[in-house]
Structure 1
Amino acid sequence: MKITDVTTFVIKNPPPGFGGKYFIVVKLTTDTGVVGYGEIYAATFGPHMIASMVDDVAARWVIDQDPNRIELMWRRIYSSGYALRPDPTLVGIMSGLEMACWDIVGKDAGKPVYDLLGGRVHERLRTYTYLYPSAGFREVYTNPDHAAARALNEIERGFTALKFDPAGPYTAFDGHMPSLDDISSSVHMMASLRAAVGPAADLLFGTHGQFTAAGAIRLARQIEPFDPLWFEEPCAPDLPHEMARVASQTSIPIATGERLTTLSEFAALGRHQAASIWQPNLGRCGGILAGKKIAAIAEANGCQVAPHLYSGPILGAANVQLAATLPNLLIIEGIREWGGFHADLLNTPIVWEEGYVIPSTEPGLGVELNEEVARANPWPADDGGDLHLSMVPDPVR
């Protein structure tokens, strides 16, 4: 079996846009007619530029290759241009291609990917969601009453873990010391949410590498009384030794990983004891096999895994396949319950019941892209300005 074609879909995510402005999905086709899908989480260039990069990488290392030889393909791509080191864009592209290969291999074998990775450990997977705005409750990131109301909505639907990030804007000049206003608003948000949900839900306090270690420690000590499940990415992601300072001075578990690339960057978390919860994004960390290796390193360091998701449903389905196999799984991120446009993009939506995902028993990733819907929602070819995520470009005073 050989790969004969690669197609990239750049899909516009319509309002309310949960999961990002657009999704980048790759499709690989083999000479036997088997098709595989993968999703790329690359945010540093415009999406159509990423699609052109996919064509370049695929022409060099993927077309005419056997999709079963995933490790070989991975090493060849990773060494492109005499690199052999973490590169978020290149590894994001190879992550999507690798994911699509696993989808092909699973379909060819007639088995879910999890059966090819050691088999299922979990019959269902606990999920969490962000507190996204809704009608009547738009200010969930700045208004504790709105956040509390939305939290109760999500608990009623079945979620038992809720994430939010009230600590102010993240900027190109992070890390910084949190202002007194940021500390106060974070404490008020935590107090309001804990009073609303009681013991019915875990609270996941998110930041985006915003603080110095000293600043993160100040903030952590203020929110400790509300017992959050984690304090996410308190320092810049490339400073595990500084994150370890925070971990050593707070009772809140530290979580990080959405911006890390390849197992070498995750291994540094273990060496420095920087975080007890690792959050690989399979569309950026190197793909499914890399995710399995990262989880094994985490296990050897006594750490748990909580796969990150701020993308589309193909990447979500890959997370489900990996998570089902992990003895050290904590929880997986959902885009709410993968409803709305996320469900429309799949021929058969991901099954979510009362806060849990039920892993599909279908072969491969267990989902198929609805290409008609994908083509009906293209990201404009002339829109090169928006990126998937961005920071405030100037210092915040």
Structure 2
Amino acid sequence: MKITDVKTWVVGNPPPQAGGRYFIFVRLTTDGGVKGYGEAYSATFGPHLTAKMIEDVAERYLVGTDPHYIENFFRRAYSSGFSQRPDISMMGCVSALEMACWDIVGKEADKPVYKLLGGQVHERLRTYTYLYPQTGSVYPNEADNADRNVYNDPDLAAECALAYVDQGFNAVKLDPAGPYTAFDGHQPRLVDIDLSARMVKAIREAVGTRADILFGTHGQFTASGARRMARAIEPYDPLWFEEPVPPDMPEVMAEVARATSIPIATGERLTTKWEFARIIEQRAASILQPDLGRSGGILETKKIAAMAEAYHIQVAPHCYCGPIVGAANIQLAATLPNFLILESIRTWDGFHGDLLTRKIDWEDGWVIPSKEPGLGVELNEAVAEAHPWNGDALHLAMEPRPLFP
């Protein structure tokens, strides 16, 4: 069996764009006609350029080879161009192609991928969702702060959280901590600390002990600033404080971890076992959040999770992208003894459901792993073709100016 063809799509995500502005999908096809799908979580360059990069990597290291040789593919791509170091753009390409290989391997074996990774530990997977605004942009930095929304109004946040809990979720996430810029980390403003505390308090009072609260940030603080923020929200017992400082210095994040009782979570901007090893070595976080569209793929993230397991660190796969990464996360999470919780884009309904021939099975706050072979889902190519992305914005962006210019 050999891979003979590669095709990519850049799919525009219709409003309200839950999960991002666009999704980057890839399909690999074998000489026997078996198709495997993957997805990249990549925002460094424009998505059409990223799609071309995926095609380039596939042509160099996959076309003409057996998709079972995943370790071989990873090492060749990781070393591409005499690099041999974590490269977030290369790993976005590798991750998409690697999960497509696993999809093929599972289909050839007529088994779900989780059965090829040590077997199923969890029959169902606990999930959480963001508090998505009911109107307006899903991006906090782009929201009109003059308008009331779930990022700046405690009453609306509590109402939204309670609605999700009534729907079945027992964990919800929000990012109320203020702007994040290309010049972070910064000291949080007193107004941001105050608002964050009031938001978390309102949600806790609304949901009681029915749900965990996940406090998201985007690496925007200094260690001292993150400690101040943690102290303000600590009375409401969040399950985690996510990425409190920028991801480039785990030693600094470790300062925050030592100063608060709130578990620190991090990982969506990290790639490969080598970057996650630094988090583990520094005891910078007790919850890792690899995103399989960027971390290096399914096998690489299985290794990351095994490293974490040895240090009693839990894994909560990140997913602010499309349903193929979501499906890969599910396959891996089902096998992990140290799995904590899975990011869900609401209940995998809406456009995420439309993009699949059969939507991800979500029931009363839990995902039920598919028993179908491969990743357990199939991209609806007609829907992907009908929604091309033609914009020039990146998937995610930081404010280009300092907080205090």
TM-score category by the smaller chain? Answer: over 0.9
Distance 1:55 1:322 in 2: 25
1:62 aligns with 2:62: yes
> Are the structure 2 counterparts of residues 8 and 337 from structure 1 closer, same or farther at C-alpha, using a change threshold of 3 Å?
same
Partner of 1:71: 71
Q: 1:256-289 CA distances to partner (integer Å, 9 max, x unpaired)? A: 0000010100011111000000000000000000
Residue by residue over 1:345-368, the C-alpha shift from the partner in whole angstroms, topping out at 9 and shown as x without a partner, is: 000110000000000000000000
SS for the counterpart of 2:209 is helix
CA shift digits 1:78-111 (9 cap, x unpaired): 1001001011000110100000000000000000
Structural mapping, 1:352-367, within 5 Å? 352-367=362-377
Equivalent residues in 2 for 1:280-359, closer than 5 Å: 280-359=290-369
The 3-state SS of whatever aligns with 1:199 is: coil
Deviations 1:121-156, CA, capped at 9 Å, x for gaps: 000000000000115996001111110110011011
Of the candidates 223, 229, 233, which is equivalent to residue 213 of structure 1? 223
**Alignment pair present for 1:200 and 2:218:** no
1:307 Cα shift?
0.1
- Matched position secondary structure for 2:213: strand
Deviation of 1:54 (Å): 1.3
Task: Work out whether 1:372 is the aligned partner of 2:379.
Answer: no
Which residue number corresponds to residue 5 of structure 2? 5
The residue matched to 2:326 in structure 1 has which SS?
helix
Computed over aligned residues only, the root mean square deviation of the Cα atoms, in angstroms, reads 1.0
Whole-Å Cα distance in 2 between the matches of residues 138 and 253 of structure 1? 30
- Structure 1 position 29 matched with structure 2 position 29: yes
Q: Which residue of 2 aligns with 1:143?
A: 153
**2:401 alignment partner in structure 1:** 394
Cα separation, 2, equivalents of 1:307 and 1:52: 26
**Shift in Å, 1:195:** 0.8
Task: For 1:249, give the aligned amino acid.
Answer: A
Give distance in 1, aligned partners of 2:173 and 2:212: 9
Deviation readout 1:275-320 (Å, 9 max, x if unpaired):
0000000000000001100100110111000000000000000000
Cα distance between partner residues in 2 of 1:341 and 1:200: 28
Q: Structure 1 length as normaliser, TM-score?
A: 0.98
Match of 1:189 in 2: 199
Equivalence for 1:52: 52
Structure 1: distance between partners of 2:135 and 2:162: 14
Q: Check 1:292–1:138 CA distance in 2 against 1; reply closer, same or farther (3 A cut).
A: farther
Q: Percent identity?
A: 66
Q: What amino acid maps onto 2:128 in structure 1? A: Y
| Correspondence for 1:279 | 289
Aligned to 1:243: 253
AA partner of residue 285 (structure 1) = S
Distance 1:138 1:379, change over 3 A: farther
Structure 2 unaligned regions, length at least 5: 137-146
Which structure 1 residue ranges, 4+ long, deviate > 2 Å from structure 2? 135-138
Matches of 2:193 and 2:277, distance apart in 1: 31
Provide, for residues 40-94 of structure 1, a one-character-per-residue CA deviation record: whole Å limited to 9, x for no partner: 0110111100111112111111110110000001100110010010110001101
Query: 1-side partners of 2:88 and 2:67: how far apart?
Result: 23
Give, in whole Å, the separation in 2 of the partners of 1:325 and 1:54: 27
User: Which residues of 2 match residues 72-221 of structure 1 at below 5 A?
Assistant: 72-134=72-134, 139-221=149-231
Q: Please tell me the residue identity of whatever aligns with 1:322.
A: L
Give TM-score, length-normalised by structure 2.
0.96
